[in-house]
């Protein structure tokens, strides 16, 4: 028997495992996908001419195997090993409500391919549900999580600038990456025309100046190659494979099992406590069980709901930890894909490297204490960049061969801006995950995802487009491409909310420690735990919740209260 089982090895599972192991708990990590080796399994060594088909997956293969995954910007021939084949991992949706579920099943999960934007939620975000009545009131506030944000930022390494914005709290930052001259000009123009808005460098989980504990794990400084979605052999950005799992392994307390699909959580009918996890071998399709004193469920938002709902028993006919009937409900993503590409004025200067980070415009709508005319609740931020066209883009911009082509590509092209909004989706219990009567090839019930943007989301989308256009044109830009249609939820890859935290066991699944109201030794710390999503990238919050919950779980276990 183990002290703890962690289901999932991605962003939250890796941190949970590290924290539990460092507190002396013999910990088993269960990963449904195959094993990857840090460095050896990556394709970041490929130069552009070495990428098969120039990165393009044949249309026939995309249509057959990657009908959903193909919508993700990071899916190409250098990275397709990381993304699931939709043909092998089915799920259902209503015909008129597509949900684009972007996922990867392997050791490290999506921490290998994430966008690495790393932002704290603010006091305003933790109060939002209570303030406007949508969703369960968070059982914690910013002060509860602030020291754990500190703890995680210092461990993973986050570069960023101190800005003093209450809606986007500062953190424990490594030196910020530098803006180029075009971005500096854009920042000056936007902030001059719109005094309520700030243009800052993105906060990203890249090592600009590694600390001793980073180099001790074999991690190195970011070299601005921008091959990040292929994996980073340098360990320059945080992932479970480069960072949290090696730290857990260094304690001698970690065991990892791959190719083990979590089927359900086993409970003792007398005590109601979890006793272990039933898994199915991905390759042999044979079942087996592992036992532990406590369980951390970090399988990712939709699989976490699937496992809980599938853990039905006579005592829990609606699934485990579901006396509230809230498991699977309140599925959220961020509004995504709305934005512009534009030609921009800029100085005839150049810059070095391919910085794997852009600009961020933090939320400025519906802030507490400000007069507001918005006809929607919550708010949004913008992410993007201003860059000069590189040699490949310049070469493709016009016909030409020989000396004329060489002369054209020897000088950088014009400045181009790319910006899109990330908006907060309000919790709605009708946006939910349920189980169907059909099973997949491993005997797991196939999930049904019923999720759509609501009226508030559509009003917010209109405002995102209006503000984005005004800022770009206000900075002297000429829009050449507009993305004006809300893409289906899921493509933001920030799915959240299916086992939310809350103060009331009747309207939530987890308490203030991420501990299931119904099952005292079950903790859930992935995106499922989120009671609301803010408009910031959520991975840092998942990790902070995971570290905090692991601390309390170890203390409860030591005290004999779980």
Q: Give the CB-side neighbour count of residue 125, counting CA atoms within 13 A.
A: 29
Note whether 304 and 422 are within 8 A (CB): no
Q: Using one digit for the tens of pLDDT, what is the confidence trace for 188-197? A: 999 999 999 9
Name the residue with tokens 């415009």.
361
DSSP states of 491-530: TTS--B-TT-B-S-TTT-SB-TTSBBSS-TTEEE-SGGG-
pLDDT at 409 over 80: no
Give the residue among 46, 511, 3 at the shortest CA–CA distance from 232: 46
pLDDT at 538 over 80: yes
Give the residue among 436, 491, 431 at the shortest CA–CA distance from 306: 436
The CA angle 551-553-556, to the nearest 5 degrees, is 110
Q: Using one digit for the tens of pLDDT, what is the confidence trace for 7-40? A: 999 999 999 999 999 999 999 999 999 999 999 9
pLDDT at 392 over 80: no
Distance CA 224, CA 354 (A): 5
Residue 353, pLDDT score? 87
pLDDT at 511 over 90: yes
Q: Give the domain 1-158+239-333+428-451+493-562 fold.
A: FAD/NAD(P)-binding domain (3.50.50)
Q: Using one digit for the tens of pLDDT, what is the confidence trace for 72-114? A: 999 999 999 999 999 999 999 999 999 999 999 999 999 999 9
Q: Using one digit for the tens of pLDDT, what is the confidence trace for 132-187? A: 999 999 999 999 999 999 999 999 999 999 999 999 999 999 999 999 999 999 99
When pLDDT is cut at 50, 70 and 90, the band that residue 453 belongs to is very high
Going across the sheet that includes 478-483, the strands are 200-201, 359-361, 380-388, 415-423, 335-344, 478-483
pLDDT at 470 over 90: yes
pLDDT at 399 over 90: no
Give the residue-averaged pLDDT of 462-479: 98
Give the residue-averaged pLDDT of 408-417: 87
Give the Cβ contact number of residue 144 at 10 Å. 16
Residue 405, pLDDT score? 81
> SS in 3 state form for 375-399?
CCCCCEEEEEEEEECCHHHHHHCCC
Residue 48, pLDDT score? 84
Distance CA 351, CA 193 (A): 26
Domain ranges within the chain, ordered by starting residue: 1-158+239-333+428-451+493-562, 160-202+335-423+453-488
User: What is the percentage of the chain residues whose pLDDT exceeds 70?
Assistant: 100
Distance CA 130, CA 550 (A): 26
What are the φ and ψ backbone dihedral angles of 335, each rounded to 5 degrees? -60, 135
Radius of gyration of the chain (CA): 23
């Amino acid at each position: 028997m183990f002290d703890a089982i962690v289901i999932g090895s991605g962003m939250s599972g890796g941190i949970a495992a590290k924290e539990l192991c460092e507190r002396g708990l013999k910990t088993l990590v269960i990963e449904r996908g195959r094993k990857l080796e840090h460095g050896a399994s990556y394709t970041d060594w490929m130069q552009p001419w070495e990428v098969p088909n120039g990165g393009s997956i044949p249309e026939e293969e995309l249509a057959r195997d990657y009908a959903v995954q193909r919508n993700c910007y990071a899916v190409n021939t250098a990275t397709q090993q990381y993304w699931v084949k939709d043909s092998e991992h089915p799920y259902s949706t209503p015909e008129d409500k597509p949900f684009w579920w972007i996922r990867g099943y392997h050791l490290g999960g999506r921490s290998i391919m994430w966008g690495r934007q790393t932002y704290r939620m603010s006091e305003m975000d933790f109060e939002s549900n209570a303030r406007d009545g949508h969703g369960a009131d968070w059982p914690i506030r910013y002060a509860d999580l602030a020291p754990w944000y500190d703890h995680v930022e210092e461990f993973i390494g986050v570069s960023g600038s101190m800005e003093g914005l209450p809606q986007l709290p500062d953190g424990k930052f490594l030196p910020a990456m530098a803006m180029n001259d075009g971005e500096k000009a854009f920042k000056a123009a936007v902030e001059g025309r719109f005094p309520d808005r700030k243009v800052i460098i993105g906060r990203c989980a890249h090592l600009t100046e590694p600390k001793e504990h980073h180099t001790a794990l074999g991690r190195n400084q970011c070299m601005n190659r921008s091959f990040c979605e292929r994996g980073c052999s340098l360990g320059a950005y945080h992932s479970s494979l480069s960072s949290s799992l090696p730290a857990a392994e260094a304690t001698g307390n970690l065991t990892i099992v791959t190719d083990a699909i979590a089927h359900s959580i086993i409970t003792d009918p007398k005590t109601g406590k979890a006793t272990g996890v039933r898994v199915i071998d991905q390759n042999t399709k044979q079942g087996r069980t592992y036992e532990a004193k406590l369980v951390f469920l970090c399988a990712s938002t939709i699989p976490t709901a699937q496992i809980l709902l599938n853990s039905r028993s006579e005592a829990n006919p609606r699934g485990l930890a579901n006396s509230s009937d809230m498991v699977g409900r309140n599925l959220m993503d961020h509004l995504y894909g709305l934005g512009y590409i534009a030609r921009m004025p800029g100085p005839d200067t150049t810059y070095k490297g391919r910085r794997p980070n852009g600009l961020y415009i933090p939320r400025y709508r519906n802030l507490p204490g400000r007069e507001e005319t918005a006809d929607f609740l919550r708010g949004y931020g913008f992410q993007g960049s201003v860059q000069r066209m590189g040699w490949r883009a310049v070469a493709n911009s016009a016909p030409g061969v020989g000396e004329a082509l060489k002369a054209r590509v020897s000088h950088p092209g014009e400045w181009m801006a790319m910006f899109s909004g990330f908006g907060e989706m309000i919790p709605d219990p009708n946006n939910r995950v349920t189980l169907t009567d059909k099973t997949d090839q491993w005997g797991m019930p196939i999930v049904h995802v019923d999720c759509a943007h609501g009226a508030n989301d559509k009003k917010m989308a209109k405002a995102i487009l209006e503000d984005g256009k005004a800022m770009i044109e206000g900075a002297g830009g000429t829009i050449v491409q507009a993305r004006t249609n809300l893409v289906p939820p899921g493509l933001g890859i920030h799915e959240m909310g299916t086992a939310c935290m809350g103060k009331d066991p009747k309207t939530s699944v987890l308490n203030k420690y991420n501990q299931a109201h119904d099952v005292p030794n079950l903790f859930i710390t992935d995106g499922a735990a989120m009671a609301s999503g803010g408009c910031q990238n959520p991975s840092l919050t998942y990790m902070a919740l995971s570290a905090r919950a692991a601390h309390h779980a170890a203390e409860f276990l030591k005290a004999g209260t779980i």
